[in-house]
Chains A and B, each alone.
Chain A
Amino acid sequence: MIEVRGLVKRFGDTTVLNGIDLTIQRGERIVVIGPSGTGKSTLLRCLNFLDRADAGTVRIGDLTVDVARASRAEILALRRRTAFVFQNYALFANRTARGNITEALVTVKGMSKAAAGARADAILGDIGLLERADAYPASLSGGQQQRVGIGRALAIEAELLLFDEPTSALDPEWVGEVLDLMRRIAEQRQTMLIVTHEMQFAREIADRVLFMEGGAIVEQGPPAELFDGPRDPRTQAFLRRVK
């Protein structure tokens, strides 16, 4: 179980996260929606300390961290229980597709090169890129890069998968293959926290949808409830705009 309490993040005078409380059950698939600049990405980035929150606690499994006082070792331990999929893929430019997947297995998890390579090939097979295993990111399409990005996140078997607008930087022609892959991951009941603007996708795979605005969770519920009968006027206004 993952539990976030009172998470606050400020950039200068601007409060981007205004005391977020969130509990995520094991295997739960949560989609976060909301207007741009409301702290959706920041919430994800604070959960694995890409951005450091100013106050609050984050608990993943039996590890609880007070973000304001977290030591370097605690941050590292927490990060190793999460995996992150970036909007811009952020593949290691000096590693092949296979190398991107084996990198953390070898350096972080201490697997042997052979075992890591075998795991990577299995994942590359899963994401349909085994024949591109030796290609460097620069020679892969956007969709292929993001699939490798997702493969890299899957490989470390984290307790929580974080997806930060994984299809927003993609040309429209590549969006489908990435969403398909995410659907398959969702079917395996991985714990997922996804920020996306793909409303149809959210409706299909989410157990719960959070609507965020102004650094707070305004409303949340099962997709059918939130999309078809939003109660808060801000949710209603947002959904009208995106339809």
Chain B
Amino acid sequence: MGALDLDYMLGLVPVLLRYLPLTLAMAAGAMVLALVLAVALAMIRVLRVPVLDQLVQGFVSFFRGTPLLVQLFLFYYGLPQIIPAFSAINGVQAAVAGLTLHFSAYMAESIRAAILGVDRSQWEATQAVGMTQLQAMRRIILPQAARVAAPTLLNYFIDMIKSTSLAFTLGVTEMMGAAQKEAASSFRYFEAFLLVAIFYWTVVETLSIVQRRLETRMNKAFAR
């Protein structure tokens, strides 16, 4: 049993820190795209848009029913064999696209549930004053649904940050990829992977603090 090499770990901190921005950028980029997509998917389902509704159900079923790793491999390694144009996509783009599609499926379901959870009288009030469905959605229903969905969506964001580590399997050197490379050359696997675990943990804990602050703010309108 070898002792924990603290000096080695400390030396690794600046190395991993250099890859933190890429990890965060992939997560943030995929989160923004996934949110936009998820809202659109949820609206299609809530408004029961013919044909599109069925397509969205299929989409959600596939992306929730298969592992993210399988999806990433399918798109990055598989798809270019069928559609050559996809070979122009690099690992980072593929990872962001995969994370976006995968998480938008989950997020669409929680947004849909949150929209359906908004009291029916809120819909009726928008109709009674003559607002269109889209105006009602955008100005009254979605903001109220957002408050309900926010904790769940932030949990998905946390999950997404951790899932960016899978980009390493597409040959992307982000935090996990960097730790893997360092470990492979020094054979200090425990130190390298412990340190990368601490990095993810710190990021997620920081986000949890933001999450609590945000929820307090969003509940302002509902405080008695």
Give chain A's interface residues, CB within 8 Å of chain B.
Answer: 48-50, 76, 79-80, 82-84, 86, 88, 90-95, 103-104, 107-108, 136, 138-139, 152, 156
Contact = CB atoms under 8 A, between A and B. Distances in A.
Interface in B199-214: none
Contacts of A95: 140, 221
Interface size class of B (residues with CB under 8 A): 20 to 34
Interface of B: 119, 121-122, 124-132, 135, 139-140, 143-144, 147, 220-224
Contacts of A93: 119, 122, 144, 221-222
Contacts, number: 73
A92 B125 contact: yes
Nearest to A77: B130
Contacts of B130: 76, 79-80, 104, 108, 156
Given A107-B135, A107-B139, A90 B129 contact: no
A50 B221 contact: no
Contacts of B121: 86, 88, 90
Nearest to A80: B130
Contacts of A79: 127-130
Contacts of A86: 121, 124-125, 128
A50 B121 CA distance: 10
16 contacts: A50-B124, A50-B127, A76-B130, A83-B129, A86-B125, A90-B122, A90-B128, A92-B122, A92-B125, A93-B122, A93-B221, A94-B144, A95-B140, A104-B129, A108-B131, A108-B135
A156 B224 contact: no
A86 B224 CA distance: 21
Given A50-B124, A86-B121, A88-B121, A139 B224 contact: yes
A88 B122 CA distance: 11
List the 8 shortest-distance A-B pairs measured between CB atoms, nearest first. A104-B129, A84-B128, A90-B121, A80-B130, A90-B125, A136-B221, A108-B130, A79-B130
Contacts of A82: 128
Contacts of B125: 86, 90-92
